[in-house]
Amino acid sequence: MSDSTARPRAARRRLPRVNPVWLLLAALILAIVFMNPGFVEPTGYMNFLKRAAPLAILAAGQVYVIVSGGFDLSVGSLITLVVVGSSMLTNNDPSATVWVIPLMLALGLGVGAVNGAIVCFLRVPSLIATLGMMITLNGLAFLWSGGAPRGYLPDTFRFFGRELIKDVPLVRFIPVSVIVLVVVVGLLTWLMHRTNLGRQVHAIGDNPVAARLAGVAVNRVRITAFMLSGLSGALAGILLGGFAGVSTDVGTGYELQAITAAVLGGAQLLGGRGSVPAAVGGALALTAIFTLLNFLGLPQPVRQVVQGLILIAAVALAMHRREETGT
Amino acid sequence: MSLAEDTPPRATGFRFERWAPLILLAGAALIYVAVAIGTGQAQYLTLDNLIAILGRSIALGITAIGQTFVILVASIDLSVASLISATAVLASVVMDGAPAMILPAILAALALGALVGVCNGLMVSALKVNPLIATLGMSLIIQGCLSAFVSNFAGKVPVAFQVFAYGEIGPFPLALIFLALMAALAWAVLRFTRFGSDIYAVGGNEEAARFAGIKTGRVVILTHVICSVCAAIAGLYLASRLRSGAPWIGSDGVYDLESIAVVVIGGTVLAGGRGGIWGTMAGMLIFSLIDSVFNIAGVDSFAKQVLRGIIIVAAVAFYAIRSKRIVA
C-alpha cells in the first residue's frame, strides 16, 4: 500500500516510468504491422481488439483477485458453463436473450461469491478453492448438456460477441464487443484505482493483518474481488459465445491465459500490486503474440513453447527490476 | 502472515492437524464399506479388491510423493503432468520393443526428469520467478516440444519392462510395493536426514533458514529435482502399464492438479513447512476410495466430476476452517 501512494510522486519528478508491458505491446504491434500492413486498417485492428476482448475483460477481473492475494482458476470453466448454459436456456428462442444474459451475469457473481466465501469462511487457500470450483463447474457444464451440447445461440445473444456497428466516422465500424471491452475496463479501472475499494484490495494483498487492524472489512473486500472476477468470467463467456459457438471446451485454458496476462501487466502474484489497464495491456500483448505466431505460420506446439518462454521471461525480468530498484 | 491471536499449539494433548488425514481416511473407508454393503455388493470388500483400488492410483501416488517435497518448501510444481507424458514417450521410444534398451531408457527418462527439476529449481531460487508461473511455463515448453515430435502412441515397451506395472510378488503388485518403498524412503529422508530438516526450515521461513546458515537455494533446487524425478518414475510406470507412451497420458490424468490436491488433502500446507509423506499417502487412499465409491454406486461420470470438485474443497476446509490465519 505504501509504495502505491508514494510512487506516483517520485515518478512525477523524474522521468515517467512506463510499464514495460506497453513497450512489449508496441513492439509486437510494430512487428505485426511489418508482417501484415493491412493491420493499420480498421478491419485489421478492430478484429484484433474483438478477438482480444474476452481475454482482456477476464484479465481485468483476475487482477482484482491477484492483487488481493489470491488466484481465480475457475473462470475458464465458468466461461464454458455460461456458453453451454445460455444455449440450453435460450433454446433457439431469440426473445429469451433478455432474461438469459442477466441470469448469466448473476451466475458469474454467484460463483464468485461462493469462491470468496469458501476462501474467507472455510479458510481454504484460493488455489484449491477455485480449482475445486473449476472441476465442479466443468462437471456441471457436461451434466447440463449431457456431454454433447446441442443447439445454437440465437442471433440476439450473439449480438455482443459478433455484431459490428457500421458507419462510424474515422474507424468505419466498431465491433460491439470492443464497446463492451472499453466500458467494462473503464469501470474496473475506476473501481480499482480511484475508489476506496481498490485501495482496500491493495491493502489486503499487501498485508492482510495490517489491513484488518486498519479497519478494512477483509472478508467483504475479498468476496467482492472474487465476485468481480466471476462477473468478468460471465461477460467473457457471453462475448465468446457470440463468436466461438457452443462447445464444452470454449473456456479451457482461459484461466491460465488471464493470469498470464495479469502477470505480463506487472501484477504481483500473492498480492499487493497490480493495475487493471496494465493487465488489459498484458492481454492485448498475449493476443498479439498469438497473432504474430499465426502470421509466421508456426504450428501450435511452437506457440506453446513460445508462450511458456515469454511467461517465464516476463516474471524473471519483473523480479530483476524489482530487486534493482528496491521497490 | 499469522495473526497475533494465533493460538500456539499446545505442547501436549490431542493435535487435530496430525490426526486429520487419518480421520478423513477413516471417513472415506466407512463410506466405502457402507456403500458396498448398502448396494449389496459385498464382493468389493475383499483384500484383492482393496489392492485393485490401490493399483489404480500408483502413478498419482508416486507423483504426489515428489509434489510433497516441493510444497514443503513452499514451492509448487505444475509441470509434472507434461513431464510424465514426456518421459513415458521418451522411454517407450528409446526401448522400442528391445529388452536390451530398458536400462538406457530408464536412465534417459530419469535424466530428463533431473534436468527439468534443475531448471525449475533454478528459475524459482535463482531467478526468483513465482513457482506457479515458472513451472506452468515449463509445462507449456515441455508439452510444446513433445507434441512437435509425437502426436500418437510412439514406440513400444518390451514385455520384460511391463513387469514394472503388471508383475506381482505374492498377492501384491510389484508397483504397489515399489510405491510403499518410495514412501518409506521419502519419510526417512524427511524425518532423519539433515536435508529433511532443512526442507522444513526453508518452508517454514526461508529468510530465517538462510540466516541459520542453510543454503536455501540448494534445498529448493534439490526438492524440485526430487519432484521431477518422481514424475519421471510415474511416466515410466505409465509407459509400462499402457505398453507404450503417448503425449497426452499426463494431461489426461490431470496429474499436476490432482497431485497437488492429494498433497493438500494429506495435510501439507501450501504455504510450506508443515506436513509429511504419510498424509500424502492417506490423501492418495482417500482419492482412490472416493473413486471406487463412485464406481460401486454407479454415479454418472459427469456428476462424479461435480462431486469430486466439492469433495476436494470440503476435505481441505476440514483442516483449514480451524485455523485463524488469513489464507491467500
**CB within 8 Å: B328 and A126:** yes
pLDDT at B110 over 90: yes
Q: What is the ipTM of this complex?
A: 0.80
CATH of A17-320, one of 1.10.8, 1.10.3470, 1.20.1440, 1.10.10: 1.10.3470
Three cell numbers at A56?
A: 482482456
More confident residue, B185 or A289: B185
Interface of B with A in 182-211 (CB under 8 A): none
Nearest to A201 by CA among A66, A9, A2: A66
Specify the pLDDT at position B1. 42
B6 three-state secondary structure: coil
- Sequence-distant (≥ 6) Cβ neighbours of residue B2 within 8 angstroms: B324, B325
8 Å CB contact between A274 and A63: yes
Domain ranges of chain A: 17-320
Q: What is the pLDDT of residues B208-248, one digit of tens each?
A: 999 999 999 999 999 999 999 999 999 999 999 888 888 88
Q: What is the pLDDT of residues B257-267, one digit of tens each?
A: 889 889 988 88
pTM reported for the whole predicted model: 0.84
Is the minimum CB–CB distance between B270 and chain A shorter than 8 Å? yes
Calculate mean pLDDT across residues A229-247: 89
Is the minimum CB–CB distance between A154 and chain B shorter than 8 Å? no
Mean pLDDT of chain A: 85
Residues of B in contact with A136 (CB under 8 A): 305-306, 308-310
More confident residue, A182 or B41: A182
**CB within 8 Å: B137 and A218:** no
**CB within 8 Å: A119 and B327:** yes
Q: What is the pLDDT of residues A273-326, one digit of tens each?
A: 889 999 999 999 999 988 888 888 877 788 788 878 888 887 888 778 777 765
Residues of B in contact with A128 (CB under 8 A): 260-261, 264, 270, 312-313, 316
Distance, CA of A82 to CA of A101 (rounded, Å) = 9
**CB within 8 Å: B141 and A305:** yes
Calculate mean pLDDT across residues B23-40: 86
8 Å CB contact between B286 and B297: no
Q: What is the pLDDT of residues A134-156, one digit of tens each?
A: 989 988 998 888 877 766 788 88
Query: What confidence category does residue A3 fall into, taking pLDDT thresholds of 50, 70 and 90?
Result: very low
Is the minimum CB–CB distance between B304 and chain A shorter than 8 Å? yes
% of residues, chain B, pLDDT over 70: 93
Distance, CA of B276 to CA of A307 (rounded, Å) = 34
Specify the pLDDT at position A327. 54
pLDDT at B10 over 80: no
CA closest to A140 among chain B residues: B306
Q: Which strand (E) or helix (H) includes residue A21?
A: helix A20-35
Specify the pLDDT at position B88. 94
Query: What confidence category does residue A61 fall into, taking pLDDT thresholds of 50, 70 and 90?
Result: very high
Domain ranges of chain B: 59-279
- Maximum pairwise Cα distance, chain A: 61
**Closest by Cβ to A123, choosing from B138, B304, B323:** B323
Is the minimum CB–CB distance between A105 and chain B shorter than 8 Å? no
- DSSP code for B42: G
% of residues, chain B, pLDDT over 90: 41
CA angle A314, A317, A319 (to 5 degrees): 110
Specify the pLDDT at position B218. 94
Distance, CA of B131 to CA of A7 (rounded, Å) = 27
Q: What is the pLDDT of residues A115-141, one digit of tens each?
A: 999 999 888 888 889 988 998 998 899
Q: What is the pLDDT of residues A253-265, one digit of tens each?
A: 888 889 889 988 8
More confident residue, B320 or B4: B320
8 Å CB contact between B202 and B214: yes
A7 Rama sector, left if φ>0, alpha if ψ -120 to 50, beta otherwise: alpha
More confident residue, A283 or A9: A283
**CB within 8 Å: A135 and B308:** yes
